């Protein structure tokens, strides 16, 4: 069959194929889906475009205008044969002419009188559909809200009115059949990317330190249990979370500025910020994850780690506790658990001198036992 496409239409077809085959060139699955709908719509002369993709972490239903999906789920989806038809037919391209017999039962006049057509299709302006349907495993594309649609994904294109002309025909079907393999290939990449991200999330969930993932738009797509617990139990949690979000978004912004999009395998060097919380000092580290790591991206991984406890420096001990240089040395030896006799041996002084140094250190630090010296010398 010759499609007899104009030069403009050939360019549109080529552009649509490139979009479908290149999901990794987009900052999110949502952006890829929107671009795919926008690229195909002119080729099939559609007035409304819809994407259905029940991918974990994504909004299954997306359209270029508001459609009352709640009313559909509550009243009309039981009358819709699309799910059963799709599973029976498998992956395919379709136009209204190729599928109308499935809906117009027992004949067209019955369809035009039906409640589904008059109360849903016409008011929502979803007439004479055409598009692409791909069927995969229900486990890959689960749809808990509408289980019958698990495993089904598609790009649908509609006219605002139902007419006897049935204008979408063999030409549009030929175009859609050319696009179907590209859609299935792009979809495969998207599903694999989602699986890789879920594996990463499962690893993060085992960590004792807080972690969150931000997508390319800077939106939080995952927080591990440790992060949620910390934010729930910490005073100033809103400021702490804001600091984590800012670190991730700065990392993403720097990646965009450096053109990381073309270097998908790259993992960016982490940025770090130190913050004080009621539970101690924390390090906020943000690292860029390129597309080869998590699929469609890039993404930012933000870690909230407990800072290692560091000892006071000699200068800090002098300024805060007024220890002399010799007393600083003695304080370190006391923190290691040395007795006065051992301190005397290390310093080459008498045991009486060592005792006097130890007593002064205890007094200046405000502690009453050698065991408390070690804790006192650490910052918190």
Residue 108 clears pLDDT 60, i.e. is over it:
yes
**Cβ(244)–Cβ(218) under 8 Å?**
no
Average pLDDT over residues 43-48: 94
Residues 6+ apart with CB under 8 A from 129: 94, 96, 99, 156, 157, 158
What one-character-per-residue DSSP string does 202-241 give?
HHHTT-SSEEEEE-TTS-EEEE-HHHHHHHHHSTTHHHHH
Out of 133-142, 195-204, 210-219, 296-305, pick the least confident.
Answer: 296-305
CA within 13 Å, CB half, 369 = 3
Structural domains for the chain: 7-195 (3.30.450.270), 208-306 (3.30.450), 314-376 (1.10.10.10)
Q: In the prediction, which pLDDT does 294 show?
A: 56
pLDDT in tens, 204-224: 999 989 999 998 888 898 999
Task: Record the tokens describing residue 191, joined without a space.
Answer: 């599903």
What one-character-per-residue DSSP string does 70-132 give?
HHIIIIIGGG--HHHHHHHH-SEEE-HHHHHHHHS-S-HHHHHHSHHIIIIITTTT-EEEEEE
Average pLDDT over residues 296-307: 82
């Amino acid at each position: 069959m010759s499609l007899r496409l104009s030069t403009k239409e050939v360019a549109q077809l080529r552009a649509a194929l490139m979009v479908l085959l290149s999901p990794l060139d987009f900052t999110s699955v949502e952006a890829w889906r929107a671009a795919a709908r926008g690229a195909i719509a002119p080729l099939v002369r559609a007035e409304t475009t819809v994407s259905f993709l029940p991918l974990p972490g994504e909004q299954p239903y997306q359209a270029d205008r508001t459609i009352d999906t709640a009313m559909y789920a509550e009243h009309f989806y039981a009358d819709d044969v699309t799910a059963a038809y799709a599973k029976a037919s498998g992956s395919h391209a379709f136009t209204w002419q190729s599928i109308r017999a499935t809906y117009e039962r027992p004949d067209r006049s019955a369809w035009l009188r039906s409640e589904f057509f008059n109360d849903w299709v016409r008011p929502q302006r979803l007439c004479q559909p055409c598009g692409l349907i791909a069927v995969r495993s229900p486990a890959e594309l689960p749809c808990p809200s509408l289980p019958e649609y698990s495993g089904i994904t598609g790009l649908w294109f509609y006219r605002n009115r139902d007419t006897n002309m049935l204008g979408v025909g063999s030409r549009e079907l030929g175009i859609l059949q050319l696009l179907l393999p590209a859609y299935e290939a792009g979809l495969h990449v998207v599903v694999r990317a989602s699986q890789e991200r879920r594996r990463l999330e499962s690893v993060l969930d085992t960590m004792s330190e807080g972690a969150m993932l931000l997508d390319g738009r800077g939106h939080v797509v995952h927080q591990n249990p440790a992060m949620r617990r910390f934010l729930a139990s910490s005073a100033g949690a809103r400021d702490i979370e804001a600091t984590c979000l800012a670190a991730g978004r700065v990392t993403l912004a720097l990646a965009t500025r450096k053109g990381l999009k073309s270097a998908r395998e790259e993992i960016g060097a982490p940025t770090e910020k130190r913050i004080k919380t009621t539970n101690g000092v924390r390090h906020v580290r943000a690292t860029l994850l390129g597309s080869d790591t998590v699929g469609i991206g890039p993404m930012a991984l933000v870690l909230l780690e407990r800072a290692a406890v560091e000892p006071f420096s000699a200068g800090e001990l002098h300024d805060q506790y007024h220890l002399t240089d010799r007393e600083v040395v003695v304080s370190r030896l006391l923190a290691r658990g040395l007795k006065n006799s051992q301190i005397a041996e290390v310093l080459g002084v008498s045991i009486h001198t060592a005792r006097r140094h130890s007593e002064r250190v205890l007094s200046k630090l405000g502690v009453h036992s050698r065991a408390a010296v070690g804790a006192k010398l650490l910052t918190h």
